Amino acid sequence: MLKNFEDVQKYGKDNMDATMKAWGHMSKSVQAIAAEAADYSKKSFEEGSATMEKLLGAKSIEKAMEIQTAYAKSAYEGFVAQATKMGELCADLAKETYKPFESFTSKTMPPK
């Protein structure tokens, strides 16, 4: 009986340690995602404002169309790059959060 109690105690401690590591990884990753989103929002707003100033100063409709086209292309490319980066950050979040529990799944899953 004492052996089983010690096993349960060790399993509980290991589980708590893994949970704390997972929360630490998750906290850091969520902070990185939030910082990245804030930086992208700020950059996007600044670029939009600069484009608006250029549009207001355009002397012809052709120049305004040129400015708008360049902005649309730049904004699209920036969005795709940001979406890729955010996807990578989210994938890393999931991977790093799960990592401390990998040893538990190998212990509790029956062999094939």
- The structural domains of the chain, with segments of one domain joined by +, span 35-100
Q: For the chain, what's the residue count?
A: 112
pLDDT value for 2:
53
pLDDT value for 108:
57
Dihedral in degrees, nearest 10, Cα atoms 64, 67, 72, 74: 180
Summarize the confidence of residues 6-20 as an average pLDDT: 82
Rounded distance between C-alpha atoms, residue 61 and residue 59, angstroms: 7
Pairwise pLDDT comparison (45 vs 1), residue with the higher score: 45
Rounded distance between C-alpha atoms, residue 33 and residue 38, angstroms: 9
Lowest mean pLDDT among 53-57, 82-86, 98-102: 98-102
Pairwise pLDDT comparison (86 vs 100), residue with the higher score: 86
Radius of gyration of the chain measured on its C-alpha atoms: 25
Long-range Cβ pairs for the range 57-66 (8 Å, 24+): none
pLDDT value for 70:
96
